[in-house]
A = this chain, B = another copy of it.
Amino acid sequence: MSSDNTERFKKPLPKVNDLVHGILTNDLTILSKAITLIESTKPEHQKIANAVIEKCLGKKTETLRIGITGVPGVGKSTFIERFGKMLTKKGKKVAVLTVDPTSSKSKGSILGDKTRMQELISDPNAFIRPSPSGDSLGGVARKTRESIVLLETAGYNVIIIETVGVGQSETAVHDMVDFFLLLKLAGAGDELQGIKRGIMEMADAIAINKADGDNIKQAKQAETEFKRALHLFPPKDNGWVPQVIRCSAIKNRGLEIIWAMMENHFAQTKSSGHFNDNRRQQNKSWLLQYMEHILKMDFTKNSKVSKLLPVLTNEVMDGKISPFRAAEDIMLAYKSS
């Protein structure tokens, strides 16, 4: 996606100050353009994007970041659309981003379908952006973090990060949000089966969606089961007790309760200092991840390394030299350039 989109940047490239000004005035065209620069793999685009983010980080805003996950079929799109509409009616400005590392490979992208969230897309107080393409989850996650900074600077004060509940992307999303919501479905066989323990453990709340019509009884049963299951986990460091709530996004039921619960969570963690601590730790891990990324990039792109590595790899594979000798020779070449 980014390679197609970035073709539209004719020389001269957009100026950092123009982009920052456009973002601050919530110019949607410029905001989209800046995010496209973030998603680009071209070094000249990344340089501008980093400078823009740098300036945006200086603008402090009060925002809430909410992660939402759930397996395909749980009703994530409808939930986010209705939840988002409810929030814009309350005067919030809502941005929706997606972390879906599979989207570049398969056609099953959870936001690939452009008919999704039509109502929210046309809402002037909402901004929806599909998953950036990327080779790795790390790359996608980094681009999402960077996009959050721009969106918050543009005035969006509730950022929803959606992800599919099938891979390791949950951990990445959990590491960039203030609240992590797991959507579940009642009445789809053994409810607890197939839930990864790790995802349950990360959740600040479980919302049992589609709790309507014939499903109500099963949803109540699932609620009891999940509450019991959540008790098996050790308490969270911030003192928050994960909640289980039934809802029906399509019938607009339970959404107010979920929002009230989130507000309660934010109030509690802000007054205890955990809200801020969590963001500080997230900044730290952002730095360390980015640090490792540029160290590896610098190493693999080094001209001496890229010449020597394939040659010595072959010799190691043939058993002619040891991995240590090869690795040390490559390190020496790297350090001498």
A residues lining the B interface (CB < 8 Å):
50, 53-54, 57, 60, 280-281, 283-284, 286-288, 290-292, 294-296, 298-299, 312-313, 316-319, 321-328, 330-331, 334-335
Contacts and interface: CB of A to CB of B under 8 A. Distances in A.
Closest 3 CB pairs of A and B: A287-B323, A280-B317, A291-B327
Given A324-B50, A325-B54, A287 B299 contact: no
A322 B290 CA distance: 11
Contacts of A324: 50, 53-54, 290
A321 B334 CA distance: 29
Contacts of A325: 50, 54
A290 B50 contact: no
A323 B286 contact: yes
A329 to B, nearest CB: 10
A326 B285 CA distance: 12
B328 A294 contact: yes
B331 A298 contact: yes
A44 B331 CA distance: 18
20 contacts: A50-B322, A50-B324, A54-B324, A57-B321, A281-B317, A283-B317, A283-B319, A284-B316, A286-B316, A287-B313, A287-B327, A290-B323, A291-B326, A291-B327, A291-B331, A292-B296, A294-B327, A294-B328, A295-B299, A295-B331
B280 A318 contact: yes
A283 B325 CA distance: 13
Contacts of A288: 313
Contacts of A321: 57
A312 B284 CA distance: 10
Contacts of A299: 295
Contacts of A312: 287
A298 to B, nearest CB: 7
A322 to B, nearest CB: 5
A294 B331 contact: yes
A306 to B, nearest CB: 13
A149 to B, nearest CB: 8
Contacts of A318: 280
Contacts of A292: 296
Nearest to A149: B322
A312 B312 CA distance: 36
Given A284-B316, A286-B323, A287-B327, 6 more contacts: A53-B322, A53-B324, A54-B322, A57-B321, A295-B299, A298-B335
A334 B150 CA distance: 30
A322 B325 CA distance: 38
A290 B327 CA distance: 7
A325 B292 CA distance: 14
A292 B283 CA distance: 24
A295 B302 CA distance: 13
B326 A287 contact: yes
